[in-house]
Structure 1
Amino acid sequence: MINTAIIAGMVTQLVISLFVPIGLLLYFRKKKWLSWKPFGIGVLIFVLFSQVLEKALHVVMIDPSGTSLKWTDSVALFVLYATLAAGIFEEVGRYIGFRWMLKKHRDYKDGLSFGLGHGGIEAILIGVLGAVNAIVLASLIQSGAFDKMIAPTLPKEQAELIKEHILHTSFMMYVLGGLERLFAISFHIAMSLLVLLGVRERKFRYVIYAILLHALVDTAPALYQARVVTNVWLIEAVIFLFAVAAFLFTRRMKETFEGGGEG
């Protein structure tokens, strides 16, 4: 039997990951901060650069275990690769979006909208779909259909690993999964504004700053993935601090953009 609290955690992750982006979208629209084209380009850039191009490179570079590179067991090189890959693909993608696809969208609201599109679709693809997948698997395990229909089609170890994950992931882990999507949206909005500022000011160094900051924020999750750090609360605390800093940066950027310069 699957603990009711675990199911509640899955649903909580789904609700946070789905309704926070929707709520922000409605709030931005009410505040007249929503610009639909940058929002859509933000979605497109995330899907293309993160989910297609970056993942294609991961297939070549990362071992199927997901904890090391194919050609070396070096944790340092794995973390360096994982963090820089995310930073380069996503921030260069943002730069391309603003530089060539949004030539007439260089205002504060355009940066906000791009970041919301970028972070919002990430929340849906990772948080919502991940929760839905977990709920479906939990239902199959609960009914016995998983053992009868799914497990025989998988390697024994993989089937056992899936069941172990579903049966023993705690309520709070799912809640943290949802909250992490919220933290990520805050960060994506801030980085979108930073890259947009670089485009406006014609200073590519801001894109470099965004790449390095993105790599820095991804260092903690990469260390967790490599099993160097095992305390998930510590990881989420680090991500939370970055999210707060990103939120404060976003507020400060309003004056910079409306003032027409760096401020």
Structure 2
Amino acid sequence: MVSVTTLACLTIATLLVAVLPVVLFWKLKPRFGFERREVILGIAVFALFSMVIERGLHGFVLSNATTAAWLANPAAFVAYAALAAGVCEEVGRYLAMKWLVSRHPQTLERRGTALGYGIGHGGAEAWLAGVLVQAQWIVYAVLANRNELDEHFASVPLDALMRLHLILGSLSPQYAALFLVERVAAFVFQIGFSVLMWQMLRERFRYTLPFMIAAHALIGVPAALFQARLIPLVAADAVYLVFGLIVVRALVRYFRSGGGRGAPTTSI
């Protein structure tokens, strides 16, 4: 059984994560003038490079006996998990922004181009990796409270059904709070990465892609450490809370200071 309080907290947290990118899109679009195509491009890149390419890479690596044995080492697992996310997402972001500038050079003049892209990329992650997954657990919790879960999963092996019950039993208001922190921080990081990459492309920084891969991988280390069971979830999310607040402050100062204005119109 999942308590009513826990179920309410999970629902509220999921709804907050769901509405965050939508509200920011409608609030910030008139002010910063980004186009829908930039938001859609961000959504498409996350869906392709993270949900398809990165997951395909994980499936290949984990299904190979040699690489699976190598990843049994916690240090190797942390390095792989952090780098895989960094490489897949930042290569996608880099290619998308290069394509956008080559097709629409005027985007370099708009300070909100990267903001629109970041809302799309981060919003896709919030929904695909957060809202939809959490909504599924809410449905399972409701079924469990109605004593309908076992019937619903009658064809599932017993050990898998037991794991499902164990996960449901671990849900709590604290878990909902950690979920909210994790998803909001991830959304903020995606906007921060997008703005940083866009600014470096405008300045023609030669090592933009390797720098962004390294930065993304570093942000991914706490999550990888948790997945390797080297640190608790609360420790990883505490790191993300602190760095998320730092990134929010940096973004506010960047846009208040006019960051992104007066870009040249030549393509990169």
Q: What's the CA shift string for 1:194-237, capped at 9, x where partnerless?
A: 2112322232412222211111111001100110112x222111
Please name the residue that 2:207 is paired with.
Answer: 205
Please name the residue that 1:78 is paired with.
Answer: 77
Q: What's the CA shift string for 1:20-43, capped at 9, x where partnerless?
A: 111111211242343211111000
1:153 is paired with a residue whose SS is coil
Amino acid at match of 2:43: V
Amino acid at match of 1:136: V
Amino acid at match of 1:56: G
Which deviates more from structure 2 when the two are superposed, residues 179-188 or residues 202-211?
202-211
- Could you tell me how far apart the structure 2 residues matched to 1:81 and 1:108 are? 34
1:108 is paired with a residue whose SS is coil
- Could you tell me how far apart the structure 1 residues matched to 2:12 and 2:220 are? 24
Please name the residue that 2:245 is paired with.
Answer: 244
User: Contact between 1:114 and 1:192, CA under 8 Å: does it hold in 2?
Assistant: yes
Count residues with an aligned counterpart.
Answer: 255
Structure 2 residue 116 is matched with structure 1 residue 126: no
1:63: how far off? 6.7
User: Contact between 2:36 and 2:116, CA under 8 Å: does it hold in 1?
Assistant: yes
User: Contact between 2:46 and 2:124, CA under 8 Å: does it hold in 1?
Assistant: yes
- Could you tell me how far apart the structure 1 residues matched to 2:219 and 2:195 are? 17
2:261 is paired with a residue whose SS is helix
Q: TM-score, normalised by structure 1?
A: 0.90
2:112 is paired with a residue whose SS is helix
Structure 2 residue 260 is matched with structure 1 residue 257: yes
Please name the residue that 2:34 is paired with.
Answer: 34
1:102: how far off? 4.1
Taking only the aligned residue pairs, the percentage that are identical comes to 29
Amino acid at match of 1:219: V
1:116: how far off? 0.5
Q: What's the CA shift string for 1:119-138, capped at 9, x where partnerless?
A: 01111112211221011111
Q: Using a 3 Å threshold, how does the CA distance of structure 1 residues 145 and 75 change in structure 2: closer, same or farther? A: same
- Could you tell me how far apart the structure 1 residues matched to 2:96 and 2:178 are? 30
Please name the residue that 2:180 is paired with.
Answer: 178
Please name the residue that 1:221 is paired with.
Answer: 223
Q: Using a 3 Å threshold, how does the CA distance of structure 1 residues 217 and 59 change in structure 2: closer, same or farther? A: same
Q: What's the CA shift string for 1:70-105, capped at 9, x where partnerless?
A: 122111111101001111111111110010144322
Please name the residue that 1:109 is paired with.
Answer: 112
Please name the residue that 1:17 is paired with.
Answer: 17
User: Contact between 1:194 and 1:207, CA under 8 Å: does it hold in 2?
Assistant: no
1:245: how far off? 2.5
- Could you tell me how far apart the structure 2 residues matched to 1:210 and 1:252 are? 21
1:109: how far off? 0.4
**What is the correspondence of 1:45-64 to structure 2 with a 5 Å cutoff?**
45-62=45-62
1:31 is paired with a residue whose SS is helix
- Could you tell me how far apart the structure 2 residues matched to 1:149 and 1:253 are? 51
Q: TM-score, normalised by structure 2?
A: 0.88
- Could you tell me how far apart the structure 1 residues matched to 2:163 and 2:133 are? 16
Structure 2 residue 146 is matched with structure 1 residue 146: no
Question: Structure 1: which 5+ residue stretches go unaligned?
Answer: none
- Could you tell me how far apart the structure 1 residues matched to 2:262 and 2:254 are? 10
2:137 is paired with a residue whose SS is helix
Report the aligned-residue RMSD: 1.9
Amino acid at match of 2:122: G
User: Contact between 2:2 and 2:171, CA under 8 Å: does it hold in 1?
Assistant: no
User: Contact between 1:38 and 1:102, CA under 8 Å: does it hold in 2?
Assistant: no
Please name the residue that 2:195 is paired with.
Answer: 193
Which deviates more from structure 2 when the two are superposed, residues 239-248 or residues 120-129?
239-248
Structure 2 residue 234 is matched with structure 1 residue 233: yes
Q: What's the CA shift string for 1:163-202, capped at 9, x where partnerless?
A: 1111221112122212322111111111111211232223
1:246: how far off? 1.9
- Could you tell me how far apart the structure 2 residues matched to 1:97 and 1:241 are? 29
